[in-house]
Amino acid sequence: MLKKYFVVEKAMLNGGLNKLIAISKLNRLVVVLFVSVSMLYSCDSEKKQKERMKKVQEECTEKTHMDGLHIGFLGYEYDELRGIAIIQKNKRSLSYRAKVKEAITDSLRERRELYWEHKIGLNDTLVLILPTGESHRVCNFKYVTKPTFGMFSKEWTCVLDEMEVDGVVRKGSELILHKEGFKVKSAKSRN
């Protein structure tokens, strides 16, 4: 270390070029040290990641219900959604009413949202009946283990990822219903 100090001081006396060479070598050393420490840290955490993933997978397979369902309606007028009847079928049939907020959350898609907060079994069947008489059958909810990435981390979570809507399997944690014939407006057509 003392030798480098004299080299840097000599560089200061002899001129700027030698000083730049010494600083460049120091920068390389810092980069090499940073990469080495990062690699050692990542190797150590692979075991921890596998343990976390296994734990979350076990929790995911033990899930039997969800606490609610996000429902998005695209292209519907408020009057078409004013009062939605929801029938939950499992061992017995239960009927509920839900109100959608009048506010549009996305003007391009004319999106309205509802969070139906209710305990729903993964094997339950939900039938949504709109005031217009339109109905939708939702069933076969599935949770999966997925990674969640942070700045320097990777965590595992159990998320709702699949459901069957009117006989079609859909990916995602939110139920999205499109009004028949509705097309998303372009930003240019709004002006």
pTM here is 0.67
Structural domain range at position 186? 63-190
pLDDT of 22 above 70: no
In a domain, residue 54? The reply is no
Look at 11-15, 21-25, 186-190 and tell me which has the smallest mean pLDDT: 11-15
In a domain, residue 58? The reply is no
Specify the DSSP class assigned to residue 181: T
CA distance 141 to 165: 10
What's the pLDDT score for residue 103?
83
**24 and 110 belong to one structural domain:** no
List of residues 6+ apart from 74 with CB closer than 8 A? 109, 110, 111, 176, 177, 178, 179, 182, 184
**68 and 38 belong to one structural domain:** no
What's the pLDDT score for residue 119?
93
Q: Residue 86 burial by CB count (10 A; 0-12/13-18/19+): exposed, middle or buried?
A: buried
**71 and 35 belong to one structural domain:** no
In a domain, residue 154? The reply is yes
Q: How many residues in the chain?
A: 191
30-85: pLDDT as tens digits: 767 776 666 655 554 677 878 888 998 999 989 999 999 999 998 888 888 888 99
What's the pLDDT score for residue 191?
46
- At residue 90, φ and ψ (nearest 5 deg) are -140, -120
What's the pLDDT score for residue 147?
84
**20 and 73 belong to one structural domain:** no
Supply the DSSP string of 77-94, one letter for each residue.
-GGGTSSEEEEEESSSEE
In a domain, residue 96? The reply is yes
Q: What is the total count of domains within the chain?
A: 2
**186 and 100 belong to one structural domain:** yes
Instruction: Assign residue 15 a region (left: φ > 0; alpha: ψ between -120 and 50; beta: otherwise).
Output: left
Which stretch, 1-5, 60-64, 179-183, has highest mean pLDDT? 60-64
In a domain, residue 57? The reply is no
**89 and 9 belong to one structural domain:** no
Task: Look at 35 and 20; give whichever has higher pLDDT.
Answer: 35
76-130: pLDDT as tens digits: 888 888 889 999 998 888 899 988 888 888 777 788 899 999 999 999 999 999 9
pLDDT of 149 above 90: no
**103 and 128 belong to one structural domain:** yes
**33 and 68 belong to one structural domain:** no
**169 and 75 belong to one structural domain:** yes
List of residues 6+ apart from 155 with CB closer than 8 A? 52, 147, 148
**110 and 155 belong to one structural domain:** yes
In a domain, residue 119? The reply is yes
The pLDDT of 165-173, averaged and rounded, is 93
Per-residue pLDDT band at 139 (split at 50, 70, 90): very high
Place of tokens 């120091």: 26
In a domain, residue 53? The reply is no
The pLDDT of 170-186, averaged and rounded, is 85
In a domain, residue 152? The reply is yes
5's enclosing H/E stretch is helix 2-14
**35 and 92 belong to one structural domain:** no
